[in-house]
Structure 1
Amino acid sequence: MNSNTQNLEIFIQSPDLQIPTRALTLPPNLTIRNLKLSFLSQISSIHQTLASSSFFTLNGRLLSDSDTVENSGVTSLSTLSLKFRLSGGGGDGGATGAESRDCYLNMYAEKKPDKCDPNEQRLSKWLNCALSNEPLKHPIVVDYLGNLFNKQALVEALLTKKLPKAFSHIKGLKDMIAVELASIPGSDSPSGGDVKFQCPITGLEFNGKYKFYALKTCGHVLSSKALKEVKSSTCHVCHKEFLESDKIIINGNEEEVIVLREKMEIEKMKLREKKVKKVKNGEMGVCNDGVKLSGTKHAIDLKGPQKISGKIETNGKDVNGLKANGKRFKAGDSAPAHANKEVYASIFTSSRKSEFKETYSCRSLPLGRN
């Protein structure tokens, strides 16, 4: 038989179809497309559809459907691979390969902010420390702007001087108010995100959906509803009296925080004025021994018949073992035995005039003595 008309024995494999390799005997003038249809008709009823999306390769080289087996370089005992095209390529939402690489790079050039659940943000603000973001646990304190803190975290930040600028109004313990949050029964060890505090009067949850106030006089935290429905000038829990100005709203909005800040500044100003008045009245110049300081040095204006400007007024009391009766203290009067009073007094004063002048090199040897 002529070699041009001799049939060829080939092997066909298809990893995509997950079928075992098959051996076929075919004429060399058979087209590649007819070979696909013949092979696919043996394994599937939709061979026409599969043929349009499949192709043969020989040693990694793509074979054209219009070429014959012989013209494609297929020889006897060759192995052909049947593969399928992936979906996409244009018109179906897939990539065509014509897009610029910059299109994909620009998609990730700017990081989009993560979307946070507003409910989770609100709940975190009411259940966590405003400084450490750890769950609130007693002892709990509130500042004059309504921020809640774990006392331990706030004190440590003050001691290490690592307090953020947002809380710069907190200078010490006097700027903290210890509060008592009522726990929900059975919520001593809640899972993350669970509400564990409530109003002790109405039972409303401490979750940011309702307004809560901290009372400066006793530290109890009550809901706005409890204070409105049960109108009283005393705390509903401990019955301690409070004023309207003693209420601090917890985690208030921007306008409410501004009002609290103004109130805080007014109270600080009143405290400074009160201290100045005490100084003017001489209250700050009273020592533990009842000794009062007067004169322009201490900026104290004392009144009374025994006022001595620039002196120590003792009113006949012992001061450090020395008895004084309104007289100026002299160092020579308390000189030790067998000591020259003038020499002893010169240790404490340099007001005594001398007829000698000191040298620039030695102050202990005046001119005329060296």
Structure 2
Amino acid sequence: MHIQRQIFVTSPYSQQTVALQLDPTQSILTLSRLTSLLESSSHLSDFSIGLNGKPLYASTRIQVSNLPSVSLLTLHPRLLGGGGDGGATGAESRDCYLNMYAEKKPDKVDPNEQRLSKWLNCALSNEPLAEPCVVDLLGNLFNKEALVNALLLKKLPKQFYYIKGLKDMVNIKLTPLAGSEGDTTSGQFQCPVSGLEFNGKYKFFVLRGCGHVMSAKALKEVKSCSCLVCHADVKDSDKIVVNGTEEEVGLLRERMEEERAKVREKKGASKKSKNGVAAVVVDAGAKVAKRQMDDGNVSGTVKKFKAGDKVPVNATKEVYASLFTSSKKKSDFRETYSCRSLPLGRN
């Protein structure tokens, strides 16, 4: 015996409730049958549907036999943009709305952490700065070991193309923060004069001559032509700003290119001077050869010296010549082991 099932549908346009009798012989109830209760200009997708307090979708099929004997079906008009159900994005279902938030967005980088990393870590290996440290001609900080290894293995990133060798590095001397004297691995440094922390909040300079790192405030307040620590001579061109702005880095790049251009010009001039000296030597040799030709030495070779041609006055030619060469003629006599007992005149 089939149990009669009845479903009550509340009208979305009035407070009236309509009762529908469900045929027990029908196995499935489709929500599309509810379109007969709507106005001609309305669609079922314009309403949110609930059955016995549970939400349903337009594509949902309901097994009639699973329904209670009396059920309540409610239709509520959707309010676009106000229900948080996907209408604000024009989506047909809530899934599209939720998927929009399911996509992972890249984590925001803390500007303070980024600044500290640039000042306290190596620009190449991103490891904490530890002695020995160097700075390039544009103000970037490196651990010397990491930079040298990258140069030897030819794995230096393209952004550091201008670093060709040790001549493009400046060895620096960092001062540990107060309370950590002697500890160069703490990663905390300060200005040796003003005590300002080396963390990016203040401008710092590297002095190329001695390598000391100190704040711009100290150099400004104590005006001197020498280093405030070791008293070495300092010029304005010897100051390299650490991690400067784009404008400051541009000025450092121009200065670097000018210095390299001067070095190339100097090398070219020295090469020309060497070639000039060689040309002078060649010209001198040509003049000597010409003078010899004029003296009668047609072959152009140097005349062999003979002691007999330069005999002093009142001197015997043979005696004078014997001072430089042997005056005796060579004989066929050859010395042997047994001939050493012969009289001295024989040999």
Out of 101, 105, 113, which is 1:112 matched to? Answer: 105
Corresponding residue number in structure 1 for 2:114: 121
**Per-residue CA distance 1:305-334 (angstroms, 9 max, x = gap):** 98337xxxxxxxxxxxxxxxx97xxxxxxx
Corresponding residue number in structure 1 for 2:153: 160
* CA distance in structure 2 between the partners assigned to 1:159 and 1:305 by the alignment: 43
Corresponding residue number in structure 2 for 1:243: 235
Q: Which has the higher contact order (CA 8 A, sep 6+)?
A: 2
* CA distance in structure 2 between the partners assigned to 1:300 and 1:101 by the alignment: 87
CA contact (8 A) 1:128 1:135 kept: yes
Paired amino acid for 1:99: S
Corresponding residue number in structure 1 for 2:219: 227
Out of 82, 93, 98, which is 1:99 matched to? Answer: 93
* CA distance in structure 2 between the partners assigned to 1:237 and 1:207 by the alignment: 21
Secondary structure class of the residue paired with 1:208:
coil
Paired amino acid for 1:63: P
Out of 249, 267, 275, which is 2:267 matched to? Answer: 275
**Would the alpha carbon gap of residues 235 and 92 (structure 1) be closer, same or farther in structure 2, given more than 3 Å must change?**
same
**Per-residue CA distance 1:325-361 (angstroms, 9 max, x = gap):** x97xxxxxxxxxxxxxxxxxxxxxxxxxxxxxxxxxx
**Superposition deviation, residue 303 in structure 1:** 3.9
Corresponding residue number in structure 2 for 1:206: 198
**Per-residue CA distance 1:142-184 (angstroms, 9 max, x = gap):** 0100000000000010011010111000000111110001011
**Superposition deviation, residue 112 in structure 1:** 3.1
Corresponding residue number in structure 2 for 1:218: 210
Corresponding residue number in structure 1 for 2:251: 259
* CA distance in structure 2 between the partners assigned to 1:53 and 1:190 by the alignment: 66
Secondary structure class of the residue paired with 2:155:
coil
* CA distance in structure 1 between the partners assigned to 2:269 and 2:132 by the alignment: 36
Out of 147, 172, 184, which is 2:177 matched to? Answer: 184
* CA distance in structure 1 between the partners assigned to 2:244 and 2:231 by the alignment: 25
* CA distance in structure 2 between the partners assigned to 1:304 and 1:170 by the alignment: 40
* CA distance in structure 1 between the partners assigned to 2:83 and 2:263 by the alignment: 75
Corresponding residue number in structure 2 for 1:63: 68
Corresponding residue number in structure 2 for 1:43: none
CA contact (8 A) 1:280 1:301 kept: no
**Would the alpha carbon gap of residues 190 and 99 (structure 1) be closer, same or farther in structure 2, given more than 3 Å must change?**
farther
Q: Is 1:308 equivalent to 2:300 in the alignment?
A: no
CA contact (8 A) 2:86 2:96 kept: no
TM-score by length of 2: 0.55
**Per-residue CA distance 1:262-319 (angstroms, 9 max, x = gap):** 000000011111112222222xxxxxxxxxxxxxxx575554698337xxxxxxxxxx
**Would the alpha carbon gap of residues 238 and 189 (structure 1) be closer, same or farther in structure 2, given more than 3 Å must change?**
closer
Corresponding residue number in structure 1 for 2:167: 174
**Would the alpha carbon gap of residues 108 and 190 (structure 1) be closer, same or farther in structure 2, given more than 3 Å must change?**
farther
**Superposition deviation, residue 99 in structure 1:** 1.4
**Per-residue CA distance 1:226-263 (angstroms, 9 max, x = gap):** 00101001100101001110000000000000000000
**Would the alpha carbon gap of residues 66 and 220 (structure 1) be closer, same or farther in structure 2, given more than 3 Å must change?**
closer
* CA distance in structure 1 between the partners assigned to 2:102 and 2:166 by the alignment: 48
**Superposition deviation, residue 98 in structure 1:** 4.3
After the TM superposition, which parts of structure 1 deviate over 3 Å for at least 4 consecutive aligned residues?
64-67, 89-98, 100-109, 185-191, 298-309
| Larger helix share, 1 or 2 | 2
**Would the alpha carbon gap of residues 64 and 247 (structure 1) be closer, same or farther in structure 2, given more than 3 Å must change?**
farther
Q: Which has the larger radius of gyration?
A: 2
**Would the alpha carbon gap of residues 135 and 64 (structure 1) be closer, same or farther in structure 2, given more than 3 Å must change?**
farther
* CA distance in structure 1 between the partners assigned to 2:148 and 2:155 by the alignment: 10
Q: Is 1:140 equivalent to 2:133 in the alignment?
A: yes
**Would the alpha carbon gap of residues 102 and 229 (structure 1) be closer, same or farther in structure 2, given more than 3 Å must change?**
same
**Superposition deviation, residue 95 in structure 1:** 6.8
Runs (5+) with no aligned partner, structure 1: 1-51, 55-59, 68-88, 283-297, 310-325, 328-370
RMSD in angstroms over aligned alpha carbons?
4.0
CA contact (8 A) 1:157 1:163 kept: yes
CA contact (8 A) 1:279 1:300 kept: no
